[in-house]
A and B are shown apart, each in its own frame.
Chain A
């Protein structure tokens, strides 16, 4: 185990180091592309961290993403930049704890609907506040952050999220999560503190999403609720994680990278048919690959050999 572990660690570090050097060679557009991609990879990892093992499908991604973006906009002129990210993370954490305590008893479709509503609720609260208290809706972010700076921050965040996801999957906590996902009753009978485990994971995943929003927001210059709380972000994150396989360490990455590139290609080459193609992709993934690409490949591989002959007998 030890040599393999070492190999994995060094491969991980090598990949991160290579990615960190990328801005020295890449064109400005390349960096922009990587920023968008890393943003979604980080969101998908964050999403899968909680939703993968527990099987709680969350559509609250953009709620936290938007909180991050808004925190950045509100405090960009008062706080120093690193502090800004810290505050954003803390606010995301606070909201996640409150929301988690209140709702993690919900299950199944109720949870899905609740999380979808949560994003809208926060958006409306922000709107209400801006309308009635500050009297303006849009906020400006004038921060001297370069695209390279944003890229490196996102890379660091993604690496940290990946490492956390890896550490959790190997820990007792990861095992506990898997049991919760399989059967909550069994889990609680085995002495797992279900509520605390779920809450902790939900909060961690929310902090990652919040930070993605806070890091990316300076690129937009202008933030208003419809920009920060765009529900597409939630759906894309969900579908990326599902494509790769939310239960696997590499799943979110294998889902986010190809889908992101596909969307980029579609918007350039089929700007008029983007929505239709996106819908078809959603349907395909849900019907054909409900457990993700990785699972599909493995199962397909395993099935092919023994199943091939009995199938002929039937004929």
Chain B
């Protein structure tokens, strides 16, 4: 679209010599252009609205506000253009995502498209991002197949790792604690029978085996389960002193409550999605301390701390401790790549793939189109969910085991 416009301008101008024309064309084009159009389709309604409304959408809004406050997106020539946002609700339906992306690319002719929420929807959108040449910064997508996807869709970027990464990190923590004598090397594990739980548990089984950890209890429960007492009691009786739940937010909250009621005090407690939600700390206050989950932050990172404050001030809700900050960082990468390369999507994608960026995560650089510098395991410590694995990464906090027993109110 951009090259088209420029060509038209050149043709109508048709007087100047080529060198002059290029300069003139660019200036004229920048004058004619009044904004940069950014589009996205997100689940505002339906079953995915909860996740999208915590991790993704607030960051899109925050970023848009930050850019507007700064006078717009900066281009290579130093000029700034305001954002024009085109937003669609995908209603948590794969067909709608596909249609909305087509609409953004063909009808609205947006300059860049931000990624939808969820593994499935990012995959549904990926062939379209690819066909129309848009870089896709997929943050809220956990997949072990990212290395394959990168080959299939050259401008796709996968920024939250895969199930194996998280499972291996957890197995390593447990193996080390077992060697140190803190844990008895036995684990009880439950998982939700849905994408996330299945991915994680099927990665965890071999990872635990490899690490020499005995899985003494392994149960899968359907989505929407609300009574975990039988599972908790069986886990309690299983002889394991580690309990792992690859759970969804409602389950995570329920297990936390019901484990307290059952006075179930495993030395290591690892829960799934939702543990990193701000509301989790609010509801459980001191009892959250010591609980492990996916993600985390470096508490000493000032940029991240500042980001968390602004996120809460602007959107009214605090960011989660896993995907939120990465979502914002992905937008900063896009912004910086545009500043360096302009609105040429091909060049921007190449810059995102190879460049190094200063974001709220610190210095960020992708490897093979994937963000690999992630916190695979985090732990609640002093009211913050801090990253503990990989332990050799700068800013890693020290793991605290065993966790304290529940404090009864």
Whole-angstrom CA separation of A135 from B94 in the bound complex: 23
Q: Does any Cβ of A come within 8 Å of B87's Cβ?
A: yes
Contacts of B119 in A (CB 8 A): 138, 222
CB-based contact A222/B106 at 8 Å: no
For B179-198 the 0/1 string (1 means CB < 8 A from A) is 00000000000000111001
Q: Check if B124 sits within 8 Å of A271, measured CB to CB.
A: no
B127–A267 touching, CB < 8 Å: no
Interface of chain B, main secondary structure: helix
Q: CA separation between A140 and B100, bound complex, in Å? A: 21
Do A124 and B198 touch (CB < 8 A)? no
Interface string of A10-43 (1 = CB under 8 A from B): 0000000000000000011100110110010000
Q: Which residues of B contact A36 (CB under 8 A)?
A: 95, 99
- Contacts across chains A and B counted by CB atoms under 8 Å: 108
- Determine if A137 and B123 form an interchain contact, defined as CB atoms under 8 angstroms apart: no
Question: Is A127 at the interface (CB under 8 A from chain B)?
Answer: yes
Interface string of A260-292 (1 = CB under 8 A from B): 000010011001101100000000000000000
Contact-residue size bin, chain B (C-beta under 8 Å from the other chain):
35 or more
A267 vs B88: C-alpha distance in the bound complex, in angstroms? 6
Given known pairs A135-B198, A222-B119, A224-B195, the reply for A267 and B96 (CB within 8 Å) is yes
If A140-B123, A224-B195, A274-B91 touch, does A135 touch B103 (CB 8 Å cutoff)?
no
Determine chain A's interface SS by DSSP, over half rule: helix
Q: Within 8 Å of chain B (Cβ to Cβ): is A130?
A: yes
Q: A220, B46: Cβ atoms under 8 Å? A: no
Q: Does B98 lie at the interface of the complex (its beta carbon under 8 Å from any beta carbon of A)?
A: yes
Chain A 123-163 per-residue mask, 1 if CB under 8 angstroms from chain B, else 0: 01001101110011110100000000000000000000000
Which residues on A sit within 8 Å (CB–CB) of B96?
267
- B200-235: contact bitstring with A at CB < 8 Å (1 yes, 0 no)? 001000000000000000001011000000000000
Which residues B78-137 have CB closer than 8 A to chain A? 87-96, 98-100, 102-103, 105-107, 119-120, 123-124, 126-127
In Å, the complex CA distance between A131 and B93 comes to 22
Q: Are A275 and B45 in contact (CB under 8 A)?
A: yes
Cβ A137 vs Cβ B195 within 8 A: yes
Chain A, residue nearest B104 (CB): A29
State A221–B149 Cα separation when bound (angstroms): 12
CA distance A232 to B91 in the complex (A): 9
Nearest A residue to B144 by beta-carbon distance?
A136
Q: What chain B residues lie within 8 Å of A103 (beta carbons)?
A: none
**A178 contacts the other chain (CB 8 A):** no
Total chain A interface residues with beta-carbon distance under 8 A: 38
Nearest B residue (CB) for A228 = B94
Q: Quick check: B88 and A32 within 8 Å, CB to CB?
A: no
- For A137, give its contact among B47, B94, B105, B198 (CB under 8 Å): B198
Interchain CB contact (< 8 A) of A274 among B44, B87, B105, B198: B44
Asked if residues B220 and A131 are in contact (CB atoms below 8 Å), the reply is yes
Kindly identify which residue among A27, A227, A271 contacts B120, using a CB–CB cutoff of 8 Å: A227
- A216 vs B124: C-alpha distance when bound (angstroms): 12
Contact between B47 and A127, CB atoms less than 8 A apart: no
**Closest residue of A by beta carbon distance from B163:** A136
Point out the residues of chain B lying under 8 angstroms from A137, CB to CB.
193-195, 198-199
Known contacts A130-B198, A274-B89; A32 and B99 CB within 8 A of each other: yes
A27 close to B88 (CB less than 8 A) = no
* A188 CB within 8 Å of chain B: no
Task: Let me know if B89 and A267 touch, CB within 8 A.
Answer: yes
Partner of B126 from A130, A221, A264 at Cβ < 8 Å: A221
Which residues of B approach A to under 8 Å, CB–CB? 44-47, 87-96, 98-100, 102-103, 105-107, 119-120, 123-124, 126-127, 193-195, 198-199, 202, 220, 222-223
Given contacts A32-B102, A221-B126, 20 further A-B contacts (CB under 8 A): A28-B102, A29-B103, A32-B103, A127-B223, A136-B198, A136-B199, A136-B202, A137-B194, A137-B195, A216-B95, A220-B123, A221-B127, A224-B195, A226-B120, A226-B195, A267-B89, A267-B96, A272-B44, A274-B89, A275-B45
Q: List 12 A-B contacts (CB under 8 A).
A: A29-B102, A32-B103, A33-B99, A131-B198, A132-B220, A220-B120, A221-B126, A222-B124, A225-B194, A227-B94, A230-B92, A268-B88
Listed from nearest, the 9 A-B pairs whose CB atoms lie closest are A222-B123, A271-B89, A29-B106, A32-B102, A220-B94, A220-B124, A137-B198, A135-B202, A267-B89
